[in-house]
Chains A and B, each alone.
Chain A
Amino acid sequence: MKLLASLLLCLFVSVAWAAEGDTPKLDIGKGGQCVRDPQWMRKNHMHLLMHQRDETVRKGNRIEQDGLKNCVECHASLSDNSVIARDDSFCVGCHRYAAVKIDCFECHASKRRTALVMKDGK
């Protein structure tokens, strides 16, 4: 019985440890929930963005809340105002973990708008 318990304990601890060790620790910036709940967003943000990009570019329906600009505004790091600058930045951290390449920020601004305005002013 003791053996079984210790075996189980080992198993759980290792599973918990592995989960903790593997998952990316993200700098979520201001964070919070503005579009949908976080679990839904983790799974579906790409569908929102894909829909939004066609609506915006081709039809001119600019739904500010669902746009990439708004995502960056909340989720950019509070220290460097970017979503891609460091390994634990909001977008990069998770995408590296999931091995999904993002090329949004080859065109789109990856920094918080306020940071860019300040840079312009200098």
Chain B
Amino acid sequence: MSDLNTQRRQFLKTSLGAAAVAIAPGMLLFDTAHGKAEAGSSKVRWGMLIDTAQCKDGCNDCVTACNKENGLSGGTAATDSQWIRKIELKDIRSGRELSLPMMCQHCEEPPCVDVCPTAASFKRADGIVLVDRHRCIGCRYCMMACPYKARSFVHEPLQDQKPDVPRGKGTVESCTLCVHRLDKGQQNTACAEACKNKAILFGNLNDENSEIAQKIRSVASVQVRADLQLNPGIRYQGL
């Protein structure tokens, strides 16, 4: 169930009539079923490059900005939603310490999508991995499957959600790469915008001329758990 055919009902309705008149029904039905072109274009692959050298220990600006943008409470209890969090890493042998943001990695081969029984967890054409809350039944298989612990479950009823970011009890959620901004034509996420140290670079990985693509070509960057071959859209420099 890689792609959900949202036009299925319409297709079933029209196909009866179409089959009766069409000389080459196969061709016509194919067109009807696939509908018009998608707005979230597959020419785009949104991604991030996070420079760990620039990410300052103790700085929480990206987390705060994300909470404000998406209407999250900001709590860090086990039952609170966290779309992005700062994690501290320490190399035991050398003593080198790092502090860096971790969020949904927007994998090209997302395990959360593979395991979702209702096709609520899905990947958009432009590489953003989302939860369709209209279909989510809150089973939390995706949370189990995610190697990055990126998804949260909403345990309590919510009030006064942001008009751009609907969220509700009984569904799973995670970083959306500020999809409501991107669809409006803005080119930056709230966390990247808020980062004083310019540690987060956001952009289109598929565009050769974009700042992020050029930087990824010139500096060494890694994907977290690259061994899983999920090809995440978030990359880390200096990890």
Contact = CB atoms under 8 A, between A and B. Distances in A.
Contacts, number: 61
Interface stretch (A31-39, A88-96, A106-114): A106-114
A57 interface: yes
A58 B182 CA distance: 14
A60 B184 contact: no
Interface of A: 53-55, 57-62, 69, 72, 106-109, 111, 113, 116, 119
B184 A62 contact: yes
The secondary structure that dominates the B interface is: loop
Nearest to A120: B68
B163 A116 contact: yes
The secondary structure that dominates the A interface is: helix
Interface stretch (B12-20, B122-130, B227-235): B122-130
Contact of B163 (A53, A60, A72): A72
A50 B171 CA distance: 19
A61 B184 CA distance: 10
B171 to A, nearest CB: 7
Contacts of A108: 161, 163, 166
B133 interface: yes
The 8 nearest A-B residue pairs measured at CB: A107-B168, A60-B40, A54-B6, A107-B166, A109-B163, A61-B39, A60-B39, A108-B166
A108 B114 CA distance: 27
Contacts of B124: 58-60
A57 B6 CA distance: 11
